Amino acid sequence: MSMRVKICGITRREDALAALNLGADALGFNFYDRSPRYIDLQKARELVDHLPPFGLRVGVFVDPTFEGVMEITKALRLDTIQLHGQEPPEFAGDLRNEGLRVWKAIRVSGAQSLKDCGDYPCDALVLDAFDPHQRGGTGKPFDWSILEDWTPPAPWILSGGLNPETVADAIIRLSPSGVDVASGVETRPGIKDADLMRLFIQRARQELVPA
């Protein structure tokens, strides 16, 4: 099975089209207004109106209101909601009751971070590095050795510090269900580099080709 790849922090139509044409499975749109990759609803609507009807559309939120998520979801026809804050399990359950996929981001600072996520109602976990000042997109990996004795309670996606030079080794070591990248394929926050995206996707998948 092909490794799933999400390109996150999309802010430009040309980057979204390039990512899909290069084989990305999912595009992430960040609706957290403190993020350097923040995109507002109007700009996001103009962007997605020109996208082909394939590839998951993932909305990234930090402690949003339910009404706010649903407004954006309906306007952009989002498939998946990625929760990156302190959203309670009931919040995720309400979104799933609306027929949405929910991915819960876990900011990994130690083994306890993984123990705390076991009962969270979600379709996948996104494991990212903890940073006290930033929610995702830090370009920093966490200590992967924490995962050696971990039994995932759900499919999981590796994020944090991935780039074309590190993604293949990460997949070999950890066997995630998918990988998620933002800063590792950028020239600056929110501006993607097509060559880096191409390399990232190729190297993410080359390790799965039988010898």
Amino acid found at 48: V
Active-site residue (options: 15, 25, 128, 180): 128
Structural domain containing residue 108: 4-206
Spans of the chain, pLDDT less than 70: 1, 131-139, 207-211
Is there a domain that residue 123 lies in?
A: yes
pLDDT on residue 156: 97
- Residue 130 half-sphere exposure toward CB, CA atoms < 13 A: 12
Q: Is the residue at 211 inside a domain?
A: no
Assess whether 128 carries a catalytic annotation.
yes
Query: φ and ψ at 102, to 5 degrees?
Result: -125, 125
Reported as a single tens digit per residue, the pLDDT across 157-209 is: 999 989 999 999 999 999 999 999 999 999 999 999 999 999 999 999 985 54
Question: Which among 8, 15, 117, 180 is annotated as catalytic?
Answer: 8
Q: What percent of the chain has pLDDT over 90?
A: 80
Any domain includes 133:
yes
Q: Distance between CA atoms of 78 and 72, rounded to whole angstroms?
A: 8
CATH number at 124 reads: 3.20.20.70
Annotation says 8 is catalytic: yes
pTM, whole model, 2 decimals?
0.93
3-state secondary structure of 163: coil
Domain total in the chain: 1
What's the confidence (pLDDT) of residue 113? Answer: 83
Residue 158 is encoded by which pair of tokens?
A: 């590796």
